[in-house]
Amino acid sequence: MILEVLKYPDARLRRKGEKVASVTPELKALSENMIETMYDENGIGLAAPQVGESVRLIVLDTRPHDDEGKPTTEGLTELEAAVQQPIVLFNPEIAVAKDKTQYEEGCLSVPGFFETVDRALYVEVNGLDANGQPVTIKTDGLLAICLQHEMDHLEGKLFIDRLSFLKSSKIKKRIEKHGYPTAEEAAEERSEARERRKAAKETAE
Q: Which stretch binds Zn ion (CB under 5 A): 82-90, 91-99, 101-109, 128-136?
A: 101-109
Decide whether 41 or 73 has the Cβ nearer to Zn ion.
Answer: 41
Q: Which stretch binds Zn ion (CB under 5 A): 102-110, 122-130, 172-180, 189-197?
A: 102-110
Q: How far is CA 12 from CA 8, 15, 66, 155, in A?
A: 9, 5, 36, 11
* Amino acid (1-letter code) at residue 30: L
107 binds Zn ion (CB under 5 A): yes
Contacts 24+ apart (CB under 8 A), 188-193: 189/112, 189/113, 189/114, 190/114, 193/104, 193/114, 193/115
What Rg value do the Cα atoms of the chain yield, rounded? 17
Beta bridge pairs of residue 98: 122
Which of 150, 176, 185, 192 does the annotation list as catalytic?
150
Decide whether 167 or 198 has the Cβ nearer to Zn ion.
Answer: 167
Q: Which stretch binds Zn ion (CB under 5 A): 16-24, 69-77, 103-111, 125-133?
A: 103-111
Q: How many CA atoms within 13 Å lie on the side-chain side of 99?
A: 10
Q: How many CA atoms within 13 Å lie on the side-chain side of 111?
A: 15
Q: What mask of x and - would describe binding to Zn ion in positions 135 to 174, judged by CB under 5 A?
A: ----------------------------------------
Decide whether 132 or 181 has the Cβ nearer to Zn ion.
Answer: 181
CB 107 within 8 A of CB 149: yes
- Residue 97 CB, nearest approach to Zn ion (Å): 18
Decide whether 83 or 107 has the Cβ nearer to Zn ion.
Answer: 107
- Residue 13 CB, nearest approach to Zn ion (Å): 9
150 an active-site residue?
Answer: yes
Positions touching Zn ion (CB under 5 A) are 107
Active site residues: 150
